[in-house]
Structure 1
Amino acid sequence: MNELRDIPVVLVILIVLAVLLQGTCLFRNARRRGKRAWFWGLWGVTTVPMPTVVYLLVVVLPDLRRKGTEG
C-alpha cells in the first residue's frame, strides 16, 4: 500500500488526462467514421496506449487501404 503513496500527484493527473483525452479522441473519430463509437470511447478510458494502437490497426488502416484502391 505504501507504493501507491509514493506515486507523485502530477504523474497521476497526467495519466488521468491522457486516458480521458484518448477516450474522447477515439470516440469522436469512431463516431465520424460510423465505427462503434461507444465501444472505442469506453475502451479508450481504460488504458493507454493499447486502445489507440488497436484502433489504428483495425479501423484506420483498413479505411486508408480501401480509399487507396478506390482512387
Structure 2
Amino acid sequence: MKELQDVPYWLWACIAAVLLLQGTWLFRDARKRDKGRMAWFWGLWGLTGAPTPIIVYLLVVILPDRWRTGQKR
C-alpha cells in the first residue's frame, strides 16, 4: 500500500476532477436525451472510473441516437 502514499496530492485532485466532470456530463446528457430514464445510472457509473463509462455511453446511447435521426456528426 505504500505506492498509493507516494502519489502526489495534485494527481488525486486531477483524477477526482475528471471523474466528477465525466459523471456530471453523462448525467446531464442522459437526462436530456433519454427523458431522464437512466440518467442516474449513467451519472453514478461515470463517477466510478474512466474512460469505460463514457465509451459505453457513446456506443449504447449516442451513436444509435444519431443513426436513428440520420445525423452525420
TM-score where L is the length of structure 2: 0.90
Report the aligned-residue RMSD.
1.2
Is 1:12–2:12 an aligned residue pair?
yes
Q: Which residue of the partner structure matches residue 38 of structure 1?
A: 40
Deviations 1:2-47 (A, max 9, x none): 1111101111100000000000000000000125100000100000
Q: What SS does the corresponding residue of 1:19 show, helix, strand or coil?
A: helix
TM-score by length of 1: 0.92
Aligned equivalents of 1:9 and 1:48: distance in 2?
Answer: 19
In structure 2, the gaps of 5 or more residues are: none
**By percentage of residues, which structure has more helix?**
1
Identical-residue share of aligned pairs (%): 58
Equivalent residue, structure 2, for 1:62 = 64
Moved more, 29-38 or 42-51: 29-38
What residue is the counterpart of 1:49 in the other structure? 51
Q: Secondary structure, in 3 states, of the residue corresponding to 1:48?
A: coil
Q: After TM superposition, where is structure 1 displaced by more than 6 Å over at least 4 residues in a row?
A: none
